[in-house]
Amino acid sequence: MTHAPTDRPVVYPETDGRPMPDGEYQSVTWRYLVEALKNHFRGRAVYAAGDLFVYLEEGNPRNCIAPDLFVVLGAADHLRDTYRVWEEPGGLPDFVLEIVSPSTWRQDLGSKRARYASLGVTEYWLHDPHARHLRPPLAGHRLVDGVYEALPVRDTLRGPSIRSDVLGLELCLDGERLRFFDPARERFLRSYEEAEARIAELEQALTARDDG
Tens of pLDDT along the chain (212 residues)?
444 445 678 888 887 555 444 555 567 788 899 999 999 999 999 999 988 999 999 999 999 999 999 999 999 999 999 999 999 999 999 999 999 888 888 888 889 999 999 999 999 999 988 888 888 899 999 999 999 999 999 998 888 899 999 999 999 988 778 999 999 999 999 876 776 676 677 767 677 666 66
| 87 DSSP assignment | G
Q: What is the DSSP string of 141-206?
A: EEEETTEEEEPPPEEETTEEEEEETTTTEEEEEETTEEEEEETTTTEEPPPHHHHHHHHHHHHHHH
Edge-first strand order for the sheet with 159-164 is 154-156, 159-164, 169-174, 177-182, 187-188
CB 151 within 8 A of CB 141: yes
pLDDT for the residue numbered 191 = 75
Find the farthest-apart pair of alpha carbons in the chain and give their distance in angstroms, rounded: 86
Asked if residue 72 lies in contact with residue 88, where contact means CB atoms within 8 angstroms, the answer is yes
Contact 79, 51 (CB under 8 A): no
Q: Does residue 47 sit in helix, strand or coil? A: strand
Distance CA 94, CA 71 (A): 6
Q: What does the pLDDT read at residue 4?
A: 45
Query: What residues does each domain of the chain span?
Result: 23-211
Question: Would you say domain 23-211 falls under CATH 3.90.1570?
Answer: yes
Closest CA to 94 of 171, 28, 165: 165
* CB of 125 closer than 8 Å to CB of 134: no
What are φ and ψ of residue 156, in 5° steps? -125, 175
pTM over 0.95: no
